[in-house]
Amino acid sequence: MLKAENLTKKFGNHTALDQLNLEIKKGEVFCLLGSNGAGKSTTINIFLGFIPASSGFAYIDGQEVTLNNHATRDLVAYIPEVVNLYATLSGMENLEFFSGLSGYTYSKEELSHFMETAGLQRSAIHKRVSSYSKGMRQKVGIAIALVKKAKALFLDEPTSGLDPHASSEFSQIIMNLSEQGVSTLMATHDLLMAKNLGTRIGIMHQGALKHNLLSDEVSHADLTRLYIDIVKQNA
């Protein structure tokens, strides 16, 4: 579903991403770990078409992003650390607006169903987003992915600042989507979440993918050791 071939990004003399190669299959959750500046967000931004690669290729469902930018954007949904919504509109109104932008029209009942599937309580659906917690905003982001029928999710530190309960709820929703065949690429600093949620785990350092691990084949202790060893290279 997602593939990077020698993906490289340079900003002047600085190499933010260095010949990244990875493949994410249908339904996989790939968690990218790394300190700030390791290249996690740069990877996501290239896949989304927000910034161009200096060299190499990014593919979504077999389509190269640069050549098929509009088509590939229709296949994906993006949930950043802070989901940008219209604060004066309700959750329902935001969902209706964004589904319309994606070319989809749903009934109020269908939109309510998407919101509830994303974990938002029915009592909150018609309240203004200005009253929402961060976790509730993230659930609206998930609902937007559902209405778009996204084949792939890109998540950039989506659980940062969430309390343990909200973080657990969010993880369960991603697992449910994975079972439905949705692929996920998630940048995170949360080693425990990466271990529990990820199908595979990548550890990045200075733009390079240093480790590509099957989560079932590495313990949390070993993952922590590998991560700390990588981070120490910055010390």
Which tens digit of pLDDT belongs to each residue from 4-53? Answer: 999 999 999 999 999 999 999 999 999 999 988 899 999 999 999 999 99
Are 120 and 36 found together in one domain?
Answer: no
Over residues 215-221, mean pLDDT: 93
Question: Of 60 and 235, which is predicted with more confidence?
Answer: 60
Nearest to 178, CA basis, from 155, 203, 160, 162: 155
Residue 209 lies in domain: 1-75+151-226
Instruction: Look at residue 117 and give its three-state secondary structure.
Output: helix
8 lies in some domain: yes
Residue type present at position 205: H
Identify the H or E element spanning 156: strand 152-156
Of 62, 28, 74, the C-alpha closest to 215 is 28
Report if residue 121 sits inside a domain.
yes
Q: Mean pLDDT over residues 112-139, rounded? A: 91
The percentage of residues in the chain with a pLDDT greater than 90, rounded to a whole number, is: 73
167 and 61 both lie in a single domain: yes
Does residue 69 sit in the same domain as residue 5? yes
In a domain? residue 80 = no
CATH of the domain at 191: 3.40.50.300
